[in-house]
Amino acid sequence: MKSRPAPSNHVEPPVVVLTGAGVSTPSGIPDFRSPNGIWKRFDPKEFTIDRFHADPARFWERRKALTLETRILDAEPNDAHHAIARAVQEGRVATVVTQNIDGLHIRAGTPEEALIEVHGNVHRSRCMDCRGSQSTRDLIDALVPGEAPRCGCGGLLRPDVVLFGEPVTELERSARAVADARTLVVAGSSLSVWPVAGLVESACSQGAEVVLVNRDPTPFDGRVAHILRGPVEEELSRLFA
């Protein structure tokens, strides 16, 4: 077992935090890729960009079912989100990069300018034509079966998240933040999905101190400075006390 990291006020700045699904599971949001994850109940092929273009009405019917099943729009931040937000507000963490689309970092108080949501935000939907933003909750509440939701301008509305088959547009910005970090804290991520896992590869290659906070082993366990196996909300609360 690796040693426990020093308290965050002894971790060398600048510090970047990278979060995955495990940070939000204590808030009641199921993860996607575990043996009991959401992809065991839904087919990921229903949520590709090609499926959206081919049949947007069907896509939105399945998207509504997925959203209601995960209860993602009603989730509340947990102690992990609050600990990270405090560390950002106090200047101890420079940037938070999240794979999560639940918006809980913002709700916990992480400033938007310090947050990179690499997969987007489920609370927003946007127009394919005018790029205007709308509330996903309002859109889902008003969804008519068999009809694709449209903007006031007539354009199709889509979730403001990265769909399967689309590039991760915020990856370059995330890579710049990690390149500047002396310490990278990775919390609640299996690090099995690329290209985001490549950020940890880069940090390790650059000699940054990497702290993994995850309940299960990851492909990077043998390369990092510290590993914490406890509940993510408890470990982050201690780390950023």
Task: Tell me the average confidence (pLDDT) per consecutive run of 10 residues in the chain, 241 residues long.
Answer: 48 86 93 74 91 97 93 96 97 96 97 96 96 95 94 96 92 94 92 87 91 89 88 93 87
Structure tokens at 65: 């079912």
Spatial distance between the Cα atoms of 19 and 75, rounded to a whole number of angstroms: 16
Among the options 10, 82, 119, 123, which is catalytic? Answer: 119
CA–CA distances in Å: residue 52 to residues 10, 193, 241: 48, 22, 44
Any bridge partners for residue 228, and if so which? 213
Active site residue 226: no
Architecture of domain 1-29+77-119+167-241: 3-Layer(aba) Sandwich (3.40)
Q: Kind of pairing, strands 209-213 and 226-228?
A: parallel
Q: What is the pLDDT of residue 9?
A: 47
Indicate the pTM of the whole model.
0.90
Q: How far apart are CA 23 and CA 29, in angstroms?
A: 9
Q: How many CB atoms lie within 10 A of CB 202?
A: 16
**CA distance linking residue 66 with residue 38, whole number of Å:** 8
Q: What is the pLDDT of residue 177?
A: 95
User: How far apart, in whole angstroms, are the C-alpha atoms of residue 78 and residue 236?
Assistant: 11
- Nearest-angstrom CA–CA distance, 85 and 110: 4
CB atoms under 10 Å from CB of 179, counted, come to: 13
Q: Which fold, 31-70+122-161? A: SIR2/SIRT2 'Small Domain' (3.30.1600)
Sequence spans of domains, the chain: 1-29+77-119+167-241, 31-70+122-161
d(CA 100, CA 212): 17
Q: In the prediction, which pLDDT does 132 show?
A: 94
